[in-house]
């Protein structure tokens, strides 16, 4: 029997209840770990100890980060400690860090020569000339670490853009944002591809529930199975590989010619995709985790 930790803060969602059953079927004892309840103790030896909910905890055989929300500092610190101890993290800590930074992700995609919308790292209203020159309006503004569609807005004009950047400066000075070319063919719809261990295992089309341009399932968008094509498969797999993720949710935008990469998620939710595609995401994650543990033991 292996033990696995799934890092999750807050109420455990239904998809992980199914995940518990899949884990048991794969011979894994699964613990949902709230990063806020962990204490990580390090010293100048190679060892370390972890306390969980007030008691010293036995180390697991592997760890999977299922959400990056509250206490993400603890979660990342825990992952780094596991990696030091040679305990496999299904997604490596540095890949999670890259995926949780929308500009760094774009820089990595750019190096890998993968397609994505033109993107600018924005400082404040002084960035407007650069936005005007390279992207124009409408443009999409995003905070670097946002998820589930919150922190993504469209600005239709220069004036609107200026107001938002001024508001941001007044309320949260120093917050980095990106401005991105608005891909109009994708307004209100996009694709989500799930990649596990270098394979694209499912693809769904998400449609916004109102006139919103954001198609996130968590914003109430509808989902349907979408036929996997070679282009979708290749973009999904290459994007995950470029970031170094073994499990990824890759968002693709529709363009006039095909697809372009919107963003890459290191901890994709899978309630939406499991509701419309014949896929069992946590079972695939556990298969991969078992392989990683075996590879480690063989070394
Ligand atoms: N450049 C863009 N052009 C058109 N639509 C976009 C663009 N960027 C994002 N979107 C829409 O907004 C949604 C949320 O953006 P995304 O970058 O994926 O942020 P989040 O991490 O919050 O999901 C996407 O799923 C897509 O529907
Ligand atoms: Mg997204």
Same domain, 82 and 147: no
Of 166, 182, 198, which one is at a domain's C-terminal end? 182
Specify the 3-state DSSP secondary structure of 258.
coil
Cα–Cα dist 205/192, whole Å: 6
Whichever domain contains 70, its CATH number is: 3.40.50.20
Whichever domain contains 205, its CATH number is: 3.30.470.20
Enclosing domain of residue 41: 2-91+286-298
Residue 260 domain-assigned (yes or no): yes
Same domain, 169 and 209: no
Whichever domain contains 168, its CATH number is: 3.30.1490.20
Residue 251 domain-assigned (yes or no): yes
Pocket of ligand 1 (CB under 6 A): 117, 140, 142, 146-149, 151-152, 180-183, 186, 190, 213-216, 251, 253, 262-263
Short-list 6, 33, 1, 13, CA closest to 272: 13
Domain count, the chain: 3
**Alpha carbon of 296 to ligand 2 centroid (Å):** 32
| Each residue's pLDDT expressed in tens, for the chain with a length of 299 residues | 999 999 987 778 888 888 999 999 999 999 999 999 999 999 988 889 999 999 999 999 999 999 766 668 999 999 999 999 999 999 999 999 999 999 999 999 999 999 999 999 999 999 999 999 999 999 999 999 888 888 999 999 999 999 999 999 999 998 899 999 999 999 999 999 999 999 999 999 999 988 999 998 888 889 999 999 999 999 999 999 999 999 999 999 999 999 999 999 999 999 999 999 999 999 999 999 999 999 998 88
- Inter-CA distances, 295 with 86, 103, 217, 287, 290, Å: 11, 33, 35, 13, 9
Give the nearest ligand 1 atom to 181 CA.
1
- Inter-CA distances, 114 with 111, 226, 228, 237, 261, Å: 8, 22, 18, 11, 8
Among protein residues, the one whose CA lies closest to atom 14 of ligand 1: 149
Residue 39 domain-assigned (yes or no): yes
**What distance lies between CA 223 and its chain's CA centroid?**
18
Same domain, 176 and 190: no
């Amino acid at each position: 029997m292996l033990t696995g930790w799934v890092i999750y803060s807050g109420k455990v969602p239904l998809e992980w209840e199914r995940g518990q059953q899949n884990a048991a079927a794969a011979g894994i004892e699964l613990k949902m770990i709230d990063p806020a309840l962990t204490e990580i103790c390090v010293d100048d030896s190679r060892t370390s100890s972890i306390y969980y909910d007030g008691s010293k905890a036995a180390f697991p055989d592997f760890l999977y980060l299922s959400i990056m929300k509250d206490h993400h500092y603890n979660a990342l610190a825990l992952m780094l400690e596991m990696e030091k101890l040679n305990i496999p993290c299904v997604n490596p800590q540095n890949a999670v860090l890259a995926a949780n930074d929308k500009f760094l992700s774009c820089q990595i995609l750019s190096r890998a020569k993968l397609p994505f919308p033109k993107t600018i790292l924005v400082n404040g209203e002084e960035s407007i000339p650069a936005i005007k020159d390279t992207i124009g309006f409408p443009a999409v503004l995003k905070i670097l670490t946002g998820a589930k569609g919150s922190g993504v807005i469209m600005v239709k004009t220069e004036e609107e853009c200026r107001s938002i950047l001024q508001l941001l400066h007044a309320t949260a000075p120093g917050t980095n944002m990106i401005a991105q070319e608005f891909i109009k063919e994708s307004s209100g719809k996009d694709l989500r591809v799930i990649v596990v261990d270098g394979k694209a295992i499912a693809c769904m089309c998400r449609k916004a529930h109102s006139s919103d341009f954001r198609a996130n399932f968590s914003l109430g968008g509808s989902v349907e199975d979408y036929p996997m094509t070679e282009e979708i498969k290749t973009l999904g797999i290459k994007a995950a590989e470029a970031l170094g993720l073994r499990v990824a949710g890759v968002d693709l935008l529709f363009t006039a010619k095909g697809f372009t990469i919107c963003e890459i998620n290191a901890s994709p939710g899978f309630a939406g995709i499991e509701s419309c595609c014949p896929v069992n995401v946590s079972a695939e994650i556990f298969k991969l985790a078992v392989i990683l543990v075996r590879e480690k033991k063989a070394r």
